């Protein structure tokens, strides 16, 4: 049985999350009115426009025709936009401002500034966000590419000496966000005892003026990529004189859980959960992370979780990071050295990355089927709605009515089903068996455990565990985020350029050798047995256990490791023993942001559209784009018709990507033979 697949792909710049306003329009909230959606009730959404960091590529993106992309791009992609030979690499975390600037006026690479307190006009955008302890504050979000993600909120104390040694006060735990819904809102509440922080933090006199504190909105997606937004924060109230004499009441910074998933919650915390707002102000040392180090020497496509609350993320998010940060390319400056010194490890990592991407989409496919058949029906208990009361602004934010609208704060009903947009979630007790019955192939039934939790990423990690252990034997393990001790960009002998000691271009080898010699030992965790915990992947049904064992055996047979060098042969294309077609390389992730954007630039024009116009408007490339999970092909590959295997469902004669309004940066063809 042979198939010929020719696929042309339009490559685009990926961009994902921002507040639902743009500095270019004076921070006025932009409405995207759709039938069934709930309008944002906040008039303005203030935040610091990101810096260009001296990268000409970022300056061109900001000042050219991709301003919206510039605002909402993930940090991992934005690090791609520099000349690696000539431009010094800069850390973008924690606020996407230069050298952790707490005010946009301190960064000359920020073009559009928030109004100063003196210039701010009542009823317009202000110089930052002002909150009252104990009262919720609502922020509207625009997820252009709404990945399943977890969003957290932290207050950074940056006044006085804390500019160079910040203290962080987490105020909202990492909670569910995105999940296929492009418009979201979330509420956070500063604890009522925040005004007494001077008793714990020496010299802290309060968040009284812009620059004293910064509100950080940090999100990490299962893709696994990171987003961060910074806004000057004022917290009103009477602050007693500070009495703390030492740092004994300041907690240590959070530490990556690496391979120990046992202590993490199973699924993301719903944004409406009463415990999501942290009740007491507990200062901790800031977790200062070098994202430019990650991009240069760990992974030029993805990143480990780099927020401030690693103890509060879910198993799913940590598993997604392990998947990407273990089978990683070792960075833009390090990948050449990896190929030279450890080609066997490099090759195995590439195969594992592709295989894990294919497997994730298998589970996403059955998940989408369950949502379509059960989740979208109100009688099954997964369709909901709600409202966010906002006492601080005197308004109430209504949510849409849809699958998990309440858990993720969605204000639109339409859910995009693209790869990495699909959530893991708890199935109501009454629907667990019906959901399992929808998975006709027993190889995939264990994605639902005996508690009725549908867990995509921990299941993939469990299925592929032995492969990661083999990769560890070749010296490649999980790479958590690299910590630094300064708010400035992490030091580098080459300024993260691809130049050697004599200043000549060398593809990054010299910089990588220096980083390898200097890298702390704790930046690599060689994969051993995962610690899943008793609340992890529980499957008691004998038939399902047999299915897992059969699947694991079949998966292992696909990898034929020959000899001590670890050379790996994985069939590039083929069909598993059940006749389910797969195309290795087409099912992989999209690290360079291909087929991700559509007509998303002109939010102002979109905001003026009538509901019927919006219904017909295919903005942001609805999931006919590349890598959409294929439910029908997964469940029933169908007979051999001699037609091409379609990326977007079943078997078809051709597969195309809608590209109207897209920015073309490359086209390639993938030709594969299935047999």
pLDDT, one tens digit per residue, over 250-299 is: 999 999 998 889 899 999 999 999 999 999 999 999 999 999 999 999 99
Secondary structure, 3-state, 99-136: HHCCCHHHCCCCCCCCCCCCCCCCCCCCCCEEECCCCE
Over residues 413-428, the pLDDT tens digits come to 999 999 999 999 999 9
Over residues 356-388, the pLDDT tens digits come to 999 999 999 999 999 999 999 989 999 999 999
pTM, two decimal places: 0.81
Give the 3-state secondary structure of residue 192: helix
Q: Which residue has the higher pLDDT, 97 or 524?
A: 97
Q: What is the mean pLDDT of residues 141-169?
A: 97
C-beta neighbour count of 524 within 10 angstroms? 18
Whole-number pLDDT of residue 31: 87
Whole-number pLDDT of residue 554: 44
Q: What is the mean pLDDT of residues 584-611?
A: 39
C-beta neighbour count of 606 within 10 angstroms? 19
Q: Is 561 exposed, middle or buried (0-12, 13-18, 19+ CB in 10 A)?
A: middle
Alpha helices in 15-127, H assignment, sequence order? 56-63, 67-72, 75-78
Per-residue DSSP letters for 582-597? EETTTSS--TT-BT--
CA distance 91 to 328: 20
**pLDDT band for position 147 (50/70/90)?**
very high
Look at the chain and report how many structural domains it folds into.
1
Per-residue DSSP letters for 424-471? PEEPPGGGHHHHHHT--SGGGGGGB-TTSEE-HHHHHHHHTHHHHHHH
Choose from 304-308, 550-554, 559-563, 601-605 the range with maximum mean pLDDT. 304-308
Mean pLDDT of the chain: 80
- Beta-sheet pairing, 17-19 with 136-143: antiparallel
Whole-number pLDDT of residue 519: 65
CA distance 312 to 269: 9
Over residues 76-111, the pLDDT tens digits come to 999 999 999 999 999 999 999 999 999 999 999 999
- Beta-sheet pairing, 3-10 with 136-143: unpaired
Whole-number pLDDT of residue 621: 34
Over residues 179-207, the pLDDT tens digits come to 999 999 999 999 999 999 999 999 999 99
- 5: Cα within 13 Å, side-chain hemisphere: 26
Residue-range definition of the domain harbouring residue 18 = 3-674
Whole-number pLDDT of residue 609: 52
- Beta-sheet pairing, 148-157 with 167-178: antiparallel
**pLDDT band for position 615 (50/70/90)?**
very low
Contact in structure between 190 and 400 (CB atoms under 8 Å): no
**pLDDT band for position 18 (50/70/90)?**
very high
Whole-number pLDDT of residue 15: 58
Q: What is the mean pLDDT of residues 426-455?
A: 95
Closest Cα to residue 406, out of 378, 372, 433, 432? 378
CA distance 352 to 358: 10
Over residues 21-72, the pLDDT tens digits come to 999 999 999 987 777 899 999 999 999 999 999 999 999 999 998 999 999 9
> What share of the chain in percent tops pLDDT 90?
68
Alpha helices in 312-453, H assignment, sequence order? 315-326, 335-341, 343-370, 405-408, 432-437
CA distance 290 to 306: 9
Whole-number pLDDT of residue 542: 52
**pLDDT band for position 518 (50/70/90)?**
confident
Please give the structure tokens belonging to residue 275.
């415990």
Residue 592 has pLDDT above 50, yes or no: no
């Amino acid at each position: 049985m042979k198939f010929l697949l020719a696929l042309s792909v339009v490559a685009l710049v990926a961009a994902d999350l921002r507040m639902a306003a743009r500095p270019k329009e004076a921070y006025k909230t932009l409405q995207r009115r759709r039938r069934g959606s709930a309008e944002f009730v906040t008039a303005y959404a203030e935040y610091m426009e990101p810096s260009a960091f001296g990268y000409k590529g970022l300056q061109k993106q900001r000042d050219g025709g991709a301003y919206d992309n510039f605002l909402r791009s993930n940090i991992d992609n934005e690090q791609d936009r520099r000349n690696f030979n000539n431009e010094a690499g800069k850390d973008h975390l924690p606020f996407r401002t230069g050298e952790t600037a707490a005010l946009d006026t301190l960064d000359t690479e920020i073009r559009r500034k928030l109004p100063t307190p003196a210039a701010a006009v009542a009823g317009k955008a202000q110089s930052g966000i002002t909150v009252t302890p104990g009262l919720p504050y609502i922020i509207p979000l625009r997820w252009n590419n709404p990945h399943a993600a977890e969003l957290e909120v932290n207050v950074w104390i940056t006044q006085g000496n804390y500019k160079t040694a910040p203290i962080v006060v987490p105020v909202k735990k990492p909670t569910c966000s995105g999940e296929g819904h492009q418009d979201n809102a979330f509420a956070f509440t500063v604890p009522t005892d925040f005004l007494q922080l001077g008793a714990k933090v020496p010299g802290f006199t309060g968040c009284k003026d812009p620059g004293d504190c910064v509100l950080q909105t940090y999100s990490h997606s299962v893709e696994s990529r990171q987003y961060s937004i910074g806004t000057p924060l004022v917290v009103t109230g009477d602050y007693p004189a500070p009495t703390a004499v030492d740092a004994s009441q300041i907690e240590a910074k959070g530490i990556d859980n690496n391979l120990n998933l046992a202590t993490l919650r199973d699924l993301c915390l719903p944004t409406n959960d009463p415990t999501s707002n942290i009740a007491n102000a507990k200062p901790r040392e800031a977790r200062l992370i070098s994202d430019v180090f990650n991009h240069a020497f760990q992974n030029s496509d993805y990143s480990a979780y780099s927020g401030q609350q690693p103890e509060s993320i879910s198993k799913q998010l940590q598993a997604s990071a392990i998947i990407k940060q273990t089978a990683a390319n070792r960075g833009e400056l390090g990948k050449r050295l990896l190929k030279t010194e450890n080609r066997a490890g490099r090759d195995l990592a590439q195969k594992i990355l592709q295989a894990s991407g294919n497997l994730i989409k298998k589970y996403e496919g059955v998940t989408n089927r369950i949502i379509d058949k059960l989740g979208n029906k109100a009688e099954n208990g997964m369709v909901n709605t709600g409202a966010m009361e906002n006492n601080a602004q005197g308004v109430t934010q209504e949510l849409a009515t849809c699958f998990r609208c309440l858990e993720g704060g969605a204000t639109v009903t339409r859910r995009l089903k693209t790869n990495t947009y699909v959530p893991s979630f708890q199935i109501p007790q009454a629907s667990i068996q019906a959901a399992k019955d929808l998975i006709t192939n027993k190889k995939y039934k264990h994605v639902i455990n005996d508690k009725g939790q549908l867990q995509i990423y921990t299941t993939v990690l469990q299925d592929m565990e032995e492969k990661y252990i083999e990769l560890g034997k070749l010296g490649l393990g999980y790479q958590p985020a690299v910590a630094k001790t300064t708010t400035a960009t992490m030091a580098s002998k080459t300024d993260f350029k691809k130049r050697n000691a004599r200043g000549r271009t060398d593809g990054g080898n010299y910089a990588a050798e220096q980083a390898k010699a200097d890298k702390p030992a704790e930046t690599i965790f060689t994969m051993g047995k995962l610690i899943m915990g008793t609340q992890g992947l529980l499957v008691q049904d004998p038939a399902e256990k047999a299915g897992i064992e059969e699947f694991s055996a079949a998966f292992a047979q696909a990898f034929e490791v020959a000899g001590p060098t670890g050379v790996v042969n994985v069939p590039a294309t083929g069909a598993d023993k059940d006749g389910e077609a797969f195309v290795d390389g087409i099912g992989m992730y999209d690290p360079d942001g291909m087929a991700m954007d559509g007509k998303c630039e002109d939010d102002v024009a979109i905001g003026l559209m009538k509901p019927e116009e919006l219904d017909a408007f295919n903005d942001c490339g609805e999931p006919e784009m590349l890598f959409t999970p294929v439910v029908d092909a997964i469940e029933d590959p169908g007979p051999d018709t001699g037609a091409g295997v379609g990326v977007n469902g079943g078997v078809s004669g051709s597969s195309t990507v809608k590209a109207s309004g897209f920015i073309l940066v490359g086209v390639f063809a993938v030709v594969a033979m299935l047999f």
